[in-house]
Structure 1
């Protein structure tokens, strides 16, 4: 158990200490103007197209001039579907402008980034786009830890209660099991409150000082994630009532039944026959009442558990993307199956180490329930994987797919250990359960002896004060002996339990399962903060289409200025010939192939299909017949007309052109 606790703390430390900014689940697919593009005149507004819907707030989009001053006008707004825009001030001068964005994706994760475009021609800018990320730092680490705790607490709460109701109803009266389930409720409630407080700073400034900003909390309550967290708190109030009944009235009903059964068993003579004849109806009533209470708890608990699972499904991955109407119910089922399996596993581990005993039948029932949960997990997991990845390449080519492979491997190990546990379960003996029954019988006898001694002492007290003192001493001695017998019975039960090699093997295998389950939970939490493979590949495709390259471009264009010694060939080399910045070299040679030292060369690029250009470029002379220019901006892909003007004398010059596909 100490090793398991150490592993849990280590995983928590990795989550907090290694917390990185949350990966964006909404990807920027494109913009107008495009990243790195050069436009002739200032646009009226900037538009951004994301892979899914995003939530906007004040300052979601900022447009900064070359000096870092804001030139956007008004709030950002939704245009159509996943496209959003912000207007800019009219009459913007030439230069390079920076657009920054900070939004919240539909699956609750913050998204931020920046890009640049130029009006007229690129220029130097004082704006840095480095560090344009949210979701990191101290607040990001605390938020990630709270998410991990909330998942773990949900599993313990739901799985522990399900284990008691479905597999081991006597466990409702075991103090260690009660503490485990109640701890799950307390941890989930605390983590939910923490997430609610951290949310505003997590998706905004990322400052610790903003955690308790009431205005930010008010804004969070108006979002989908805020509504989900508040709903979770309301459902936890209902869960508290469920726990009170499960560990209160349900346990008392069992205890009353055992006491009455014990009293009937100790009856003798005609009293026993009277008790038997008059006890059938009460026994039947008690059984029916317990059955009704169990059914009510099962129905109520299922509703509360499904509601709690829905607070994740309706606000995160399942709520966006393809087939959301099917994805959300599948996600709820997936979460419930995880909780029943791993939460039941944690409860079984506590019972094996802390409870006096656990019946073989209870372990077998849980084994069957766990098998059904694994089958459900496999079915729902395959669907979720397809939905989040979309292609086989995303399985190995994206961070989400790689994490998913790690999770699948860990679950395979977990299932293997569970198979070993099932083998131990098949060999499990009921001797410890019998010892526990003997312990309960000894305890009842102790209570009966104590009551008899007390009654006898009271009767003798009527004779004299001395006899009352003797009776008191006798009753104390009787109670002491009863306690000793109970302690001896408990020690015998513990020896029987620890001496059983099958039970010891089961404890070790279940402990190993729990250790692997903690790591699986950590990987699962990481998956929820990692961009799904489907959207990551969509963003890569969009970026590739915007900066697609055809390789270095080389064009040879003959020219004749008409004057003496005016013929030759100019070679234009553009590398890498893609959208964005390029390196350009020009070589001018005579008809015989020798370098031609002409006075001047100029180049212009025109994209007639989009009415862009001509974009002039004046290269620098490097050597005889060699000119170059760096940072030649190609704003978008297309069939460009490249015009070269060559001057061979003060009065002789000519412009020649050739078309080429760039990007």
Structure 2
């Protein structure tokens, strides 16, 4: 009776159809996920979820089972462009667990951002240049020039803003402003020219001088440099105009700086550029106001005391905006706060944060003295100025360093008596990648019969594996080993849907169906 029973009694439910289909690109967001099985599944056991490219669930809705219990559906909200992962874990009616994951794409999602996004050589078609993710001593000149540039930019913009903020605030202040605005503009022009010269020379190191025209006229960074030089020269004509005109000039030159660098790379671009502009403008108000307070304190203590009331309020507001915009930029730049510990950018940001905390302490003490009617003291002003200088230096350093680690291609190779195995992932980032598996088996065994590749998320271990459909191809690389026969497999597609730690499981079968299993762990950011 046991052997005469129906064969289906020994079978398990298998996934027969999926909507959307695995590894498929859709122009519009699908309305639902549907998984159809060949047998009934338990209605109240298991899970079905969809994750975005940050491994976040796109909906908290519960899946529904069909009347015959053979399909599972999950209603979806309207999905934006991106790479999505469908993960399921169900139990068939006979009690057998089934799990898996697959990927589909909606629209044309932007490429994942990593350290490579901060390489201006790409716009020029240059290859072979690394991206600065760690600090090195031989970059001292670049950092010194950047510190000078940022100091001059914030100082000049702040001095041009304060005439509007401090109108009719004494007889001594206008004379100080008139004298130091021109000095600041001269300093800014020199700093901008040095800044452009040093960075252009660094970018075109080893390339012909004819590429300078291409750099300045055909790249985003070159056009921004031209705008900086033009605005620096225009400042000399505007310095005599109404304070509103000077403030608009300061806003324009800060906007040019906000539009370049890291803020221009991350999405949403409007939010990152806005945060960067608020950050720079707040710093400029603080730097310019502190400069005027220090100059007034040396020339007229009473007028310095009156100006200090206005400055202390503006400085505290500026510092609060600095903190809020800095937090906003950090959250936009980094997928997780743990990334602060992966690069020098994070280390420098932590140092800058500590300095800002000290500035808040000094500024709070200064504000309390002024509220009591006391004059600012020299030690407090010097401490504030020293912390300001340190923050500018740190900002000059970490705006040159990539916020994100560099994603290195996966290049794994293992030699063995029974099998050599090579596994490669390029460019190794969330989204579309090329995955290559090469297998060498002894001549006596013969060529591999098949190879299977499955990817497991080590950060989300509850997710099922992602099956990568490998296809054989003719490999032209000179990677033959005497006494072994090679078989090469290849796949290209969005099989790595989100950044994190991954494990590749490679199963190789020979012509006699003997199986060898190799696992490779890798990560991307």
TM-score by length of 2: 0.57
1:359-380 C-alpha deviation (Å, 9 max, x unpaired): 4221101111111111211221
Structure 1 match to 2:383: 512
Structure 1 match to 2:171: 170
Structure 2 match to 1:331: 276
How far is 1:82 from its partner? 5.4
CA contact (8 A) 1:318 1:327 kept: yes
Q: Which moved more, 1:604-613 or 1:136-145?
A: 136-145
Could you tell me which of 369, 378, 401 is aligned with 1:530?
Answer: 401
Alpha-carbon distance in 1 for matches of 2:400, 2:155: 22
1:418-470 C-alpha deviation (Å, 9 max, x unpaired): 11111232344xxxxxxxxxxxxxxxxxxxxxxxxxxxxxxxxxxxxxxxxxx
Judged with a 3 Å threshold, the aligned counterparts in structure 2 of structure 1 residues 104 and 170 are, in CA distance, closer, same or farther, namely: same
Structure 2 match to 1:223: 219
Matched, 1:611 2:472: yes
Structure 2: gaps spanning 5 or more residues: 1-107, 426-435, 452-469, 492-503, 521-525
For 1:293-442, what aligned pairs fall within 5 Å after superposition?
A: 297-355=242-300, 358-428=303-373
Number of residue pairs aligned between Structure 1 and Structure 2: 364
Judged with a 3 Å threshold, the aligned counterparts in structure 2 of structure 1 residues 187 and 111 are, in CA distance, closer, same or farther, namely: farther
1:201-230 C-alpha deviation (Å, 9 max, x unpaired): 2212268xx7xx476145323321222222
Alpha-carbon distance in 1 for matches of 2:124, 2:172: 43
Q: Aligned with 2:171: secondary structure?
A: helix
Judged with a 3 Å threshold, the aligned counterparts in structure 2 of structure 1 residues 521 and 603 are, in CA distance, closer, same or farther, namely: farther
Structure 2 match to 1:658: 515
CA contact (8 A) 1:161 1:181 kept: yes
Matched, 1:641 2:512: no
Q: Aligned with 1:205: secondary structure?
A: coil
Judged with a 3 Å threshold, the aligned counterparts in structure 2 of structure 1 residues 315 and 182 are, in CA distance, closer, same or farther, namely: same
Alpha-carbon distance in 1 for matches of 2:482, 2:446: 6
Alpha-carbon distance in 1 for matches of 2:489, 2:344: 32
Alpha-carbon distance in 2 for matches of 1:617, 1:526: 48
Alpha-carbon distance in 2 for matches of 1:139, 1:530: 14
Judged with a 3 Å threshold, the aligned counterparts in structure 2 of structure 1 residues 140 and 415 are, in CA distance, closer, same or farther, namely: same
For 1:29-40, what aligned pairs fall within 5 Å after superposition?
A: none
CA contact (8 A) 2:508 2:515 kept: yes
Q: Aligned with 1:358: secondary structure?
A: helix
Structure 2 match to 1:158: 157
TM-score by length of 1: 0.47
How far is 1:388 from its partner? 1.0
1:488-517 C-alpha deviation (Å, 9 max, x unpaired): xxxxxxxxxxxxxx54x6221011011011
Alpha-carbon distance in 2 for matches of 1:361, 1:318: 38
Judged with a 3 Å threshold, the aligned counterparts in structure 2 of structure 1 residues 164 and 532 are, in CA distance, closer, same or farther, namely: same
CA contact (8 A) 2:297 2:304 kept: no
Alpha-carbon distance in 2 for matches of 1:149, 1:607: 61
Structure 2 match to 1:184: 184
Structure 1 match to 2:5: none
How far is 1:172 from its partner? 4.0
Alpha-carbon distance in 1 for matches of 2:278, 2:122: 21
Alpha-carbon distance in 1 for matches of 2:515, 2:126: 41
Alpha-carbon distance in 2 for matches of 1:132, 1:314: 23
RMSD, aligned α-carbons? 4.6
Alpha-carbon distance in 2 for matches of 1:585, 1:227: 52
Q: Which has the higher helix share?
A: 1
Alpha-carbon distance in 2 for matches of 1:378, 1:109: 33
CA contact (8 A) 1:603 1:616 kept: no
CA contact (8 A) 1:389 1:401 kept: no
CA contact (8 A) 2:448 2:508 kept: yes
